[in-house]
Amino acid sequence: MKVLKTQLGDIKGNVGDQVVQYLGLKYAHLKDQLSAPELVDSNYSTDVVDATEYGPRAPAADMCTFEQGVLIQQEISSVPTPQTPPMSGTECLNLNVTVPVLETGTKKDRKLPVMVFIHGGGLIMGSSHWLQYDPKRLVRESVKMGKPAIVVNFNYRLGLLGNLTSSELRDKGYPGNNSLRDQRCAFQWVRRYIGDFGGDADHVTAFGESAGAACVLHHLSAKEPLFGRAISMSGTPLMLKPLPKSATEPAYETIIKAFGLEDLSAEERVKRLVSITPEDLIAKTPMEARLLPFIDGDIIPSAITFKDLTTNAQQLQEKVPGYLWCKELMIGDCQHDGTVCYFMGLANRKQNIGSSFHVSLTTNLSPDSATAILAAYNITPATPDDAALTSILSLANDLLYYIPAKRFACSFPGKTYYYNFDVLNPWEGAFKGCATHLLDAAFLFGNYEEWLGEGERSVVVEMMRGFLGFANGEVLWGNEGVKRFVVDGGREGDVDEAGGSRRDILCRFEEDGVLDLDELRGAWDLFMAGM
């Protein structure tokens, strides 16, 4: 145990594995479970604060085993699993600070760079206690390479509590976009208090994966500087599109019906919503309710489009103020990120999926565009189910992950690094032999080393050192700033200018005037909605 004196009080943390971890530190207060967060600004306690156990998690189904065993395709079984923290709608806004233990004689007067991680999970699942993203090994590696760094990870509200909104709620003083508001508050806590833990508030790197990566880029819409460097791992606002205000009303109506609140007054409905138990939130929230961030003119002033990312720099910087205060960007994708769509409903629609996709695309896209895309990806009504599904997932990969990552990389005015993760998943599962979604994050934190071969472990170290080097302000990956993570030279195939074996056919269609990427993105949403 170690007791640290801070402006928030004396805090007791865990010492072990060459790090000190301060767990479950509250970063914001909530008046109720739907209210906007308020930054902690006073002492936690007059006594020593026990920060040796994880704090309460946000109400959500506990999908840790699902993410490990099904999405990543390997459970972490050799390390004792921490006891799952209780859920709380009002006490879940807490964070963990992992600090390196520096060797005797090491200069300790220099403040350390800080990396702040936003977990993914589609804004409906995830928690800061999940083993796959425990930052201890990443922090240990920072000491090995002589570039010690602090890592912070945190909980934020998910699902209904994170993203339910409506005019009725807003009229009652609930502005919505709680997931992003909570995250912004966590960054504000880091800027104010991380110096007490040895961190440098002026050298903060935000990094996230999947939905967490999209949130990192969403925060560039803030006028207030939140971090100096950003890392987006397989997720952008073009992948996780915010809803227009009008689209939030149907989701609200769905929730009201699901919880049997139709006949209550507006005041009574809100009163019930702020008092729903975590267990009822999980049991009764329907999956079809679109609980996503929305364009509120504040947290998300407007939606970013493909077209925006090819407009002139001044217009884009006016729309995304963070392009001025965030100085460096690292952004990347996995070679087969699109495989995650299989688990987002396509697995249950596999039968005759070629035919249904053909009908959906030709209905919701111009004839020339639909014909070109269907031909390029070899999808016809008669295409066998397995082949059609593989092609549709390839299209998802290019449209939702690869092209958005390249567009953000090309549009960012500061120093930019791009990576492509092309390490094949070695574990049994639906997508063994593919560079699957989330696999880059699983490698980065190093908690799967026991189940990896020598070549794969070398990629773990390579990733850690690249990301830590970025947080330390190093110049990476040569003049082009491009990196392809592979094992033993990777596979044969065409390598494009981004360093990955990839199709750029959609971009070429756009250049030739055959296709509008924003229209295709809309058509994809309609297909995923079953239309």
Task: Give tens-digit pLDDT for 380-415.
Answer: 999 999 999 999 999 999 999 999 999 999 999 999
Q: Band of the pLDDT at 493, cuts 50, 70, 90?
A: very low
Cβ–Cβ under 8 Å, residues 357 and 377:
no
Q: How far lies 126's CA from each of 132, 152, 211, in Å?
A: 11, 15, 10
Cβ–Cβ under 8 Å, residues 80 and 170:
no
Mean pLDDT, range 254-280, rounded to an integer? 95
Which stretches of 398-504 are DSSP H helices?
403-411, 439-445, 454-471
| Cα(49)–Cα(166) distance, integer angstroms | 38
pLDDT at residue 106, as a whole number: 53
The one-character DSSP state at 7 is: T
Q: Is residue 466 scored above 60 in pLDDT?
A: yes
Average pLDDT, the chain: 93
| Cα(341)–Cα(357) distance, integer angstroms | 14
Q: Is residue 499 scored above 70 in pLDDT?
A: no
Mean pLDDT, range 133-159, rounded to an integer? 96
Mean pLDDT, range 437-453, rounded to an integer? 96
Q: Is residue 82 scored above 80 in pLDDT?
A: no
Q: Band of the pLDDT at 314, cuts 50, 70, 90?
A: confident
Interior/surface letters 94-118, b for 16+ CB within 10 angstroms, e for the rest: bbbbbbbbeeeeeeeeebbbbbbbb
| Cα(373)–Cα(523) distance, integer angstroms | 12
CATH number of 2-346+401-478: 3.40.50.1820
Task: Give tens-digit pLDDT for 192-210.
Answer: 999 999 999 999 999 999 9
Sign of the Cα pseudo-torsion (419, 460, 430, 214, in order)? negative
pLDDT at residue 492, as a whole number: 45
Q: Band of the pLDDT at 311, cuts 50, 70, 90?
A: confident
Task: Give tens-digit pLDDT for 283-292.
Answer: 999 988 999 9
Q: How far lies 4's CA from each of 15, 24, 138, 195, 196, in Å?
A: 12, 15, 22, 12, 8
Task: Give tens-digit pLDDT for 319-350.
Answer: 899 999 999 999 999 999 999 999 999 999 99
Beta bridge partners of 19: 16, 100
Percentage above 90 pLDDT, the chain: 88
The pTM score is: 0.94
Q: Which string of DSSP letters, residue by residue, matches 198-251? A: TEEEEEEEEEEETHHHHHHHHGGG-SS---SEEEEES--TTTSPPBPHHHHHHH
